[in-house]
Each structure stands twice: as C-alpha cells, then as structure tokens.
Structure 1
Amino acid sequence: MKEHQKRLQNKVENLENRSHRQNLRIVGIPEGCEGTDASAYVANMLEKLMGEGSFSSPLEVDRAHRMLARLPRANEPPRAMVVRMHRFLEKEQILHWAKQTRSYSKETAMSKEPGAADSTAEEPSNSTRSPKYTDGGYGWVILASCFVITGLSTSFVKSFGIFFRDIQEYFDELAFKVSWISSITVAVFHAGCLGNGFAWLPSVSLVTQYFRERRPLANAIASCGECVFTFIFTPFYQWLVDQMSWRQTMMIIAGIQLNLCVCGALMRPYQPQKKYLTFTPSSASTSRKDLSRTSPDRKKNLAHFFDLPLLKQPKFICMVFFGFFSAMGFFIPDMYLIPHAQNIGIEHFQAALLMSYWSAGDCIGRLSCGWLANFRLVKSIRLTAILITILSIALMLFPVAKSYTLLVIFSCICGFFFGTMLAIIVTVLTDVMGVEKLDNALGLIMFFRSIACLFGPPLAGLLVDTSGDYSSGFYVGGGGLFIAVCFLMLADYFLDHEPNFNQDTEKEMEKFISQCQPQEEAEKGKLGTDRTNGTESEVSE
C-alpha cells in the first residue's frame, strides 16, 4: 500500500511538472478586467495583441487565475496572472513573440523541486504596469455628455407628477389608468430598447470605462444631471402649463429632448493606452492548490448584451431582485409627490417646487456620497444598504407631513438619501460583477427593473383609487425599498463567501490526474516523446 501511494504521488508530481511547461505568467493586466471568465479574456487579449491569424487554430486557454496575494491598493501594480495554455507549441509561440517585442523577462530564480512554494513571485517594473484608465482627458467630455443625457432622460419622468392630475381630469380616468403612462415610459427606458434608454445605457458604461481611480465621483457627477435638470425644469414645466396647456408643454419638451443627438455625437469608444505586457514562464513550483482554484470553464459567450449565464451566480440573482424591488422606490414617490401636495391643498406652483427641493437634496446627496465613497472607508454595498434603509423609513413616514414646511423638510431628507443611494449604485454593481461584466449585468438588471417599473406605479395607483389618498404611493415605495435592502445584504453575503475550492488531498489528486492524463497523451503524440511513468513504463518497454 505504501509503495502504491508513493508511486501515485510520484506520478502526480511528474504530471504536474509537465503541465507547468505550458504555463505562462502575465504581468500587467488590470485588476478586474478578466471578469468571471479569465480564460476567455486572456485568449481574446492574446489574439488581439499578436494579431489575427497568428495561430493556426483558435487559441485555447485551459486555466487562468491571479496569483494568490492580497488585492493591490490604488497605486500598486496588479497581481500577475498564471495562465495554462492548451497547447505547448502555442505557449512557445507566445514567448517567441514576447521576446521579439522586447517585453520578455526571465525570473531571477526558479525552484526545481516539485511541490515547493513559489519563492520568486516577480513584481512588474514601471514599464510593464497595466494600462491605467485615463481618469481625465476626453473622459471629461464623456462625463459632461453623460451628465446632460441623464438629465434629459430622467427629468421628464420625475416631473410627470405635474401633468398627472391634468391628464386625469382631461380624460376623466382613475389614477390606476393614468399611472400606466409613466410606468410604460419608465419600463421602456429601463429596458433600453427604445427612446432615451438607447442613449443612457452606453453613456453610463463609457463613464465607467474612462474613469477608475475617480469612478465613484465620476458616477456621482454624471448622475447629478438628473437632479440639476429636474430642479430647473420642474418649475419651468409648471410655468408652461399655467401659461399654455399641458399638450403644448409636451411639444416643447419633445424639442428639448433633441439635444440627446448632440451628446451622442460626442461619444467615443474607450481605447486604453498601449503598453507592453510582460510574459514569464510560470515556475514548476506552482502548487496544485493554486491550479484547483481556477475555473475549468472555457466556453466563450457570444451574447454581448444578455449574458444569461450570469443568472447562475447567486450574487447576481440577488442584485436582480434588488433592482426589481428598488425600482418601486425610485419612481413611485416622484410620481405622487406633486399630486399628494395638490390633494392636501397646496397651490400648484408651490407643489411643483417640492420636486425642486427634492432634487436639491438629491444633488447634495450624490456629490457627498460620491466623494465619501472615494475613500473606501466602508464597502460600497454595505453603505448602500444603510442609506436605502433610512430612505425606506423616511418614505413611509412622508404622509405624516401635512403642512408645506414639513413637506419641504421631508422632500429634502428623502431627496438627500435618494441621491446618496443612486450615487454609488453603479459602483456597487461594478464591485460585485467586475468591469468586464458590467455591460451585461447592467443590461439584465435594467430588463428586470423595467418589469417592476411597468407594474409598480399602476399597483400604487390601484391603492390610491381604493383608499382615495395619494399616501399609498409612498407606502408602496418605502416597502419596496425595504425588501430590496434584504436582497442587497444577501448579495454582500454571497460576495464574501464565494465558493471555496479547497478540497481534501485525495479528491484533489484524483481531479488533477483526470485533467492532466489526456493532455499528457496529446503532448506525447505531438512531440514524439517516449518518456513513460513508473511501473507502467517498464512493462511497455
């Protein structure tokens, strides 16, 4: 039995050492760029760097993972990435290309003992650091365009309360039916399939790509367009309604929306600065435990927008439910704020100013929270959970306000916490899913949010018709946000307890043998090696 165990161990170590001959260590890839499928990302990156047609067949990467070390800070270089190529000849071709581009470097020391710890994890020099996001330059133009797009796209939706009672009286319909106008508008916008959704989704994605160090602040500034435009346009729209009619006001709003075309013309795809990457042969001392932590999935998902495999991740499912229930708290209070004030006897123009007060607090909240989130004192997802909890309580207490002074105070408070939540919501999604998967994750979440936006306002309108009081809308909004917080906390739990791939030694050895044995036979066939292992080699001779 002891001889059998020793022979098995020698065989595993031999196979392990052979597999490392196909390993590369790549230095300079920014943290988080690989997303959830590092193998596919590395394969695409190498094909783009070396040019199409460089390989006789599609490049295949068996495994790719970061070196086991703590996450680097803002000014530190990213961790190296260990990559195991599917074919030995492709690994040699990549190293040859790296030598020609003068970006090849050898490790100063390499352990030859199988299973030894990696003693020379190489730090990249300044010339081989990853290409940083610009955090400026043309990014400021992108940020300004996103500011205007966000403002034009959302200010009308938030100001719809001005037209709510006029439309209700003109058509003599219930609040339930009038709510469908706003709910369909918001649902289509969130689905990104028509109208302003076409402009807003790409602009938010570009801001995330152009900014890294200042990403929370950039997202906060971009989202402030909603506050500034709502602050200005809400009283302006009310003035137009008083001077003309709600129909003529709609025509003027349609003309203002044409400025989205100007902002769209200023958008440019992000192109990172070109810098050489450093390729080094991975040491034979990389442990089996490091390799076992990597995902064997090498499938390339061709779907760019709807990345359905994301729905298999528990943390993403929680973010989907968070987006679904939080959508109720996003738009229902805005829709019923002005009608609620008018219903309790507030003059129309003063009622419209409540939305301006709300937007002022919203703007202050976004900027202050974006600035605070930049310090990374608290995890963004936990900070968001705290802020949404406070907002949900404030919304459910909003109907208590009966005087105009109390309405102004509650509007400022709710607007402030509403702004703090929206300032870092994209940052939270980026932290949970990574930059590489942000577009796909945001697209899916917006799709499910659109469903909530479609049925949330009519549900609140049905309660308003039943109770005869617009306060029901605030209860629905606050309750939806409270449920959303629960799913956000679950997402934080799954994020902190990602699947641990540590297994016991026996299972790990069996898994490694099953993965390496077919590759060993393929390598023998290609290179014509006659090397065999243990007792089996003696019998074959």
Structure 2
Amino acid sequence: MKSSSNHLPPSDLDTTKELTPLKDDGGDSGATVVVEKVITYAVVPPDGGWGWVIVTASFFCNLIVDGIIFTFGMFLNDIQREFGGSKSKVAVVGSLLAGFYLMAGPFVSALANRYGFRLVTILGSILGTVGFLASSFATDVEFLFVSYGIIGGIGFGLIYVPAVITTGFYFERWRAIATGIAVCGSGIGTFVLAPFAVHLIEWYGWRGALIIQAGLVLNCAIFGTLFRPLEPVRVVTTREVSMKNNHSASKLSLLKRIKQERDEHRRNRGSLASVDSDKYEKSSIRVTNNNAYTTAAEALARSVGSLPGSRFASTHSLGMSNHHGVETGEEHLKAVYEMERDDDDTMTALVHHQSQTVIRRGSKRLRTASESSSRSRKGLELSGTKPFYRDDIFFGASLTRLPQYTSQSSISYHMSVTRLPTKQDIKEQAGENSRMCTEALTRTLGTMLDFSLFKSPTFLILAVSGFITMMGFYVPFMYLTDRAELSGMEKGLAMFLVSSIGITNTIGRVLCGIVSSIPGMNALFINNTALTLGGAATILSGISMSITYQYAYAIIFGLSIACFASLRSIIIVDLMGLDNLTNAFGLLLLFQGISAAIGSPIAGAFMDATGSYDASFYLSGTLILVSAILCYPLNRVNRWEKRRAAELSAGL
C-alpha cells in the first residue's frame, strides 16, 4: 500500500444521493427513494509488506534506546572517579534518563498524534544525540543531570513511544508477533551494549564512549524515516431512504418536496451521536477524555436510525477502495468518521452529501442544484490516520484476546474502537484555524492524563503496584556488575551479568507472548508469579557471590521482568476494559517514570551508608515482592467493583 500524507481524495468525497420514483401497492407513483452513499476514509493495516520494515526499524530503535538505558551502570565507577561524590549521586544521572524516558510518554503520544510517528522519532533522535554529545563535555555531575538525564531522557521518550506503537498500527492479524519481535530489541540491546559499553570505556574513556553512543542514537533518525504514514482508503456504505408522501406535500412541486425532505433529514442528523462532555470538565487539563467521543460504529448506527422512512437496501454494501479505485477486503477496515463540535460543546456525527442529486421521474431525468461540501478534503483524509483515536492503540497482544474482536466481524471491531475526529480537528489538519494546542494534542493529553481513573480501586492498586515495582526495577541493572567486581569476580565475567538479564528478558517476552495467547490464561496470575519470584530472587541474590549463583539470579530476574513488561496492556484490558487502556497506560507511564527516577539513587544511598550492596538489593527485592503481593487480591477487588457499579446503575 502506498503512503502519501499529502495525497488528496477524489472529488466524490461526500455522500451521493440518487432519487428514483417508486410505485407502491397503492398506485402512488410520486413516491421516491433516496439511494445514499456514506463515504469516509479509513486506515487499513497491510499486515505485512512495508509493515515488516516498520518492525525492523522499531526493533533497532528499542535496541539502541533500552540498551543504553539498561547499561548505564557500566559508566558508574568511571564518572564517580572523575567527579567524586557518592554512588547514589552518580546513579541519579542514569535514573533521570530512565525516568524522563517514561514520564514523557503521555506528552510524546500527543505529539505523535498531531505530527506523526516519523517526525517525532527524528526529533527524539536529534535531541538525544545533542544531549549525549553535550554530556561528553560535562564539568560536573549536575551538568550530567540536565544533559544526559533530562535532555537525553526526553529524546529517548520521543523515540520509544513511536517505536512501540507504530508496529501495532501496521498489523492486525499478526500484531502480537510483530510487536513481540519489535520489543525484543530491548533485551538484545541490553545483551549487546553492556559489554560494548565496557570496551568503549576501556578504549576511549567514558567521554569518548558517550560520543559513540550519541552516534548510535542518531541512527534512530534513519529508522524513524521508515515510519511512513499509511494511506487512507475510501469506505462506502449504501442505503435506501424512502421519501414520505402526504396530502400537503403532494401539492408541492417535486423539487420543493425534495428540499423539504432534505431539510428534515438534516435536522434529524444534527442530533446524531451527540455526546455531552460536561462530566470531564474537572479533568486536570480541562479537555475531553477520548471515551466521550462517539465511535464510528455508533455514528453509523445512529445515522441509519435517525433517517425518516429509511430502510437498508437489499443490496446493502460496505465497500472500500483506495484513491485509485482498488477494492480492499472489508476484514481489514479501520473506519474513521468525522464529528462536528457544536456551539454547546457537544460532538455530532456528520453525514456528508455529494455535490449532485439525481432525480428520475418516469423516463425523465432532472438534476437539482449542487450542494458542495465545504469540508476540507485534505483534512478529512489526514484525520483517518490519527492513531491515538483508537482504543486499542497500546494493545500489543493478539487481538483474539479481546471479546470485541472475537464476537463480531473485523470491520465491526475496527469501527467500534475508532473514535471520531471533530470538526476543529479536520480544519486544523487542513491548515485552517491552527492554534498552538491543537485538538489532536489536547484530546490525547486529556485522555492519557485523566486522573478521574484513580477513583477506581482496581486501577489505584494497579498504579501503586506499578510504582513500587519500578522503584526496584532498575537497581540490578545499575549495581549488579559493580557488586560482582567488588566481590572479586573477574571483570570480563561480571560485565556479562547484565547481558544475561537482557537475553533472558528477550526469551521471556517471547514465552509470555505465546502463553498469554492461550485462551483462558490468566495474565494477572502470570505477572504476580513472575514478580514474586523476581523479588524473592533479588532478596536472596547476595547469599553467594559464586559465578554460577550470580548468573542463575540474572536469568531468573530477566525472565521475571519480561513478564511484567509484556503483560501490562493485557492486564489493564482484562481489569479496566479496552476503552480505558489509553487512559490507564498514560497514567502508569507517568507514575512509573517518577518511581524509576528515584529508585536507584535510594538504593545507592543504602550502599553509601552501609558500605555494602546487600541492603540495596534487599530493598529492591522487597519492593518488587510487595508490588506482587498487592496484586494478589486484584481480581477479587475488580469483581467487587464491577458488582457495585452494576448495583448502582440498577438503582439498588
């Protein structure tokens, strides 16, 4: 499928209405039927082709970004020796990198929704490169806080989100496999870049190593150029509308009757898919959560139900074609409809009309005056490529886990998870009424940072658990190699401990993908078991400093964190529902970023205070274990919450 963000759709952008007279059983030959085509534009995942290029580019972006983040511990002693200070202070540098890389997630998502994956990834690559180059000229640790931690972290965040999301945007049937391959770059990067960083420091010093890493980060700009947008296809739905005939209307001329019927149609259409956003006025950034916007399926259903005397034609069809008229299978449809924001700040679905109405009466053929839509064609086309207007954009597992996907046809599923753009959104895409905080930006932020989700006990427990997990998550990556060297392990062997975590992390992600696709498999149980084992292993990791024992610990830890990373979106959907996935994922990124920024420095402070890493690993393991224990009753809490909500809605 070709990609072109500037390609304009043909002139028949809107709906075609064809009116033909019908002779009913009563002999009334004045009846007419409107044959109406509802035409819009949709993004269809190719499920292959260029999509595999996207997977490759995403793989290498994850390899570079996560590989560098997870191997900062290799720089720890060299930076400390040059600038002095405590290990906990130097650890703040790497922790800020990991923290801002996660905290930037909601804001990067908004930028990607507005400007596309390609531009955001290139921007992140440039920003990360500048940060790393500046870090090579650092004069103190505080300088590294800003250049390496904050600037580099934000740059990495700009790369990470598009690299993870764009793969799912290109795949439907093979989404789980494609996403799994892409995220395996994280483990492979840790495996490769840990010893690579050690050798770079030996050969060029830590400053020279940062310059070379900056060159690696710049390569992400090349991979980002491969994230080209998908070209929308045209979606056509045909239906028949029977025009009413009454005594007063029969006295009017045919053209007046048609105008009267058309005006009535418009009035009915004006109330379609109306959604009140008052309940979101208290949102932290005072914009509407994406859930308040009507889906394409709802808009179509309400449109059909509101038509006076409407009935679907026996040959009702929903076909698709690209701009060159090539038909596309309906099983891959991702429909996108337009919405209009009225003066009262409600959203209303629009049914467009083409510029021509054809009337047949007997053997004569008449034409009415044309009514040309003023909608921008370019804006409407581009609105079909908004990834964060989909409820499942963060869902990286197999779609067969979703009841919404298995209980209906593919076309119905895609229409049911696609939220509609607004009239303002369409205009901004076409370059009209542009403003700094565009609809695409504010709507995504309003969805991902809607703190009202914390009213849910289920999500509150999930968020607290994730926060605690991430406090202990980066500690082994940061200190495992240094602890082994201090205990007398040869440096050549110690540096591969982090590599072992990386390769087992890759294996664990693959295994999680396979196991989670089994029908009936409880993802929360797998997550809790993995975190329990990982936490306990971390607490006990200091019992023996033998090579075998330390490598065994690295393997167990790598497998456990793979489950935590792989199952997050599945657990959110199982507990909170697909429509809350984007909101929940955004909040979790924000809070886990905060905890990642403070966890390793706290553990480092324990080492500085005691002179041993034992307390640091006790703390890390305890945090991970507690986070697992918090989730043990989560299924029961979730069932109670759903039961209470059902009782309240029933008025009990």
TM-score normalised by structure 2 residue count: 0.52
**1:436–1:413 Cα change, 3 Å:** same
Q: Is the 8 A contact 2:190 2:503 kept in 1?
A: no
Query: What letter matches 2:202 in structure 1?
Result: D
Partner of 1:367: 510
| Alignment equivalent of 2:554, drawn from 411, 426, 430 | 411
**1:257–1:296 Cα change, 3 Å:** closer
Partner of 2:53: 141
Deviations 1:363-398 (A, max 9, x none): 111111212212234122222122111111111111
Paired residues for 1:346-495 under 5 Å: 346-495=489-638
Q: Is the 8 A contact 2:542 2:614 kept in 1?
A: yes
| Alignment equivalent of 2:63, drawn from 151, 169, 175 | 151
SS state of the match for residue 378, structure 1?
A: coil
- The answer to whether 1:178 aligns with 2:114 is no
- Deviation, structure 1 residue 212: 4.5
SS state of the match for residue 631, structure 2?
A: helix
- Deviation, structure 1 residue 451: 1.3
Q: Is the 8 A contact 1:142 1:267 kept in 2?
A: yes
Q: Is the 8 A contact 1:216 1:373 kept in 2?
A: no
- The answer to whether 1:240 aligns with 2:380 is no
- Deviation, structure 1 residue 102: 8.4
Q: Distance in 2 between matches of 1:470 and 1:344?
A: 10
- Deviation, structure 1 residue 456: 0.9
Q: Distance in 2 between matches of 1:246 and 1:174?
A: 18
Q: Distance in 2 between matches of 1:191 and 1:316?
A: 18
**1:487–1:218 Cα change, 3 Å:** farther
**1:405–1:441 Cα change, 3 Å:** same
Q: Is the 8 A contact 1:460 1:473 kept in 2?
A: yes
Partner of 2:37: 101
**1:504–1:446 Cα change, 3 Å:** closer
- The answer to whether 1:197 aligns with 2:157 is yes
Query: What letter matches 2:54 in structure 1?
Result: I
Q: Distance in 1 between matches of 2:604 and 2:500?
A: 24
SS state of the match for residue 541, structure 2?
A: helix
| Alignment equivalent of 2:78, drawn from 166, 170, 193 | 166
Partner of 1:250: 210
**1:210–1:311 Cα change, 3 Å:** farther
Q: Distance in 2 between matches of 1:398 and 1:251?
A: 34
SS state of the match for residue 459, structure 2?
A: helix
Partner of 1:43: none
Partner of 1:223: 183
Partner of 2:372: none
SS state of the match for residue 198, structure 1?
A: helix
Partner of 1:336: 479
- Deviation, structure 1 residue 297: 7.4
Paired residues for 1:122-133 under 5 Å: none
- Deviation, structure 1 residue 337: 0.8
- Deviation, structure 1 residue 454: 1.7
Q: Distance in 2 between matches of 1:471 and 1:217?
A: 39
| Alignment equivalent of 2:444, drawn from 304, 320, 328 | 304
Q: Is the 8 A contact 1:220 1:424 kept in 2?
A: no
Q: Is the 8 A contact 1:387 1:417 kept in 2?
A: yes
Partner of 1:322: 465
Query: What letter matches 2:466 in structure 1?
Result: G
Task: Identify which range, 454-463 or 319-328, moves more after superposition.
Answer: 319-328
- Deviation, structure 1 residue 277: 6.8
SS state of the match for residue 183, structure 2?
A: helix
Calculate the aligned-residue CA RMSD, in Å: 3.5
Partner of 1:18: none
- Deviation, structure 1 residue 224: 1.0
**1:222–1:426 Cα change, 3 Å:** farther
Q: Distance in 1 between matches of 2:649 and 2:628?
A: 40
Higher strand share: 2
- Deviation, structure 1 residue 279: 9.3
**1:270–1:395 Cα change, 3 Å:** farther
Q: Distance in 2 between matches of 1:210 and 1:466?
A: 51
- Deviation, structure 1 residue 141: 2.8
Q: Distance in 2 between matches of 1:505 and 1:364?
A: 45
SS state of the match for residue 304, structure 1?
A: helix
Q: Distance in 1 between matches of 2:98 and 2:487?
A: 27
- Deviation, structure 1 residue 426: 3.2
- The answer to whether 1:187 aligns with 2:330 is no
Q: Distance in 2 between matches of 1:168 and 1:465?
A: 13
SS state of the match for residue 540, structure 2?
A: helix
Task: Identify which range, 479-488 or 155-164, moves more after superposition.
Answer: 479-488
Q: Distance in 2 between matches of 1:322 and 1:207?
A: 28
Q: Distance in 2 between matches of 1:474 and 1:270?
A: 47
- Deviation, structure 1 residue 298: 7.1
Deviations 1:415-437 (A, max 9, x none): 12222332222333344445554
- Deviation, structure 1 residue 199: 1.4
- Deviation, structure 1 residue 453: 1.3
Query: What letter matches 2:486 in structure 1?
Result: N
Query: What letter matches 1:201 in structure 2?
Result: V
- Deviation, structure 1 residue 402: 1.0
